[in-house]
Amino acid sequence: MSVSLQNSLYSAAVYTFEQVVFLVPDIPPDAAQRRLPVEAVASVAFSGPARGTLQLHAGDGLLPLITANMVGMDDPDEALQLDALGELANIICGQFLPALDSVNAFEHKPPEVFTGEAFSFESPAVLSARAEIGLESSRADVLLFLYPDSQSRSEP
């Protein structure tokens, strides 16, 4: 994994959590946060000067927390919680992509959100950066997958 991509992914994720969810991330997550199972995953595919997927994995307990902070509502329903995770992934992706190419534009597809065992990811894309973040009593992992043909162009 490239250190500069890793740093850019952390920057995009931290900025988004601070600005959109009003949470100050803990980096790295502590042992208790790391042990939490993943509750849902939001995935955003992108293309352009590089091609790949950005995934946001939400640890147990994160969805109601981020949704309440984003919309200012107690006890948001499940549909709203999954919508919130997808939007966060979308925003992190948009914030991160200029790190891959700051001149040419990327297109990204609408986020797809999966819960629990419904998520599986089989792709020739390669895990190229990962940001692990603690958020209050939960955690979020942001994973960047790049297709091999675009990875070489994006590496500094």
Partner 1 sequence: MSINVLLIDDSAVMRAMVLKSLQMTGVPLGAVHQAANGVDGLAILRQHWVDLVMLDISMPFLRGDEMLEQMRADSDLAAVSVIVISSERGTERVARMQELGAVHLPKPFTPEQLRDVVREITGVRT
Could you give phi then psi for residue 64, rounded to 5 degrees?
A: -65, -30
Q: 69 or 126: whose CB is closer to partner 1? A: 69
Site for partner 1 in 87-116 (CB under 8 A): 87, 90-91, 93-95, 97-98, 104-110
Q: DSSP strand E in 16-111: where?
A: 38-47, 52-59, 107-108
75 lines the binding site for partner 1 (CB under 8 A): no
Interface with partner 1 in residues 36-65 (CB under 8 A) = none
* Residue 20 is a binding residue for partner 1 (CB under 8 A): yes
3-state DSSP helix/strand/coil % of the chain, to nearest 5? 40, 30, 30
Q: At what angle do helices 3-20 and 78-96 cross, to 10 degrees?
A: 130
Is there binding between residue 15 and partner 1 (CB under 8 A)? yes
Q: Quick one: 1 or 71, whose CB is closer to partner 1?
A: 71
User: Position of tokens 């939007």?
Assistant: 87
Could you give phi then psi for residue 29, rounded to 5 degrees?
-65, 150
Smallest distance, Å, CB 125 to partner 1? 20
Q: Which is nearer to partner 1, 7 or 104 (CB)?
A: 104
74 touches partner 1 (CB under 8 A): no
- Residue 107 class from Cβ within 10 Å (0-12 exposed, 13-18 middle, 19+ buried)? exposed
Copy the structure tokens of residue 1.
Answer: 């994994």
CB of 94 or CB of 126, closer to partner 1: 94
Give the residues lining the site for partner 1 (CB under 8 A): 15-16, 19-20, 67, 70-73, 79-80, 83-84, 86-87, 90-91, 93-95, 97-98, 104-110
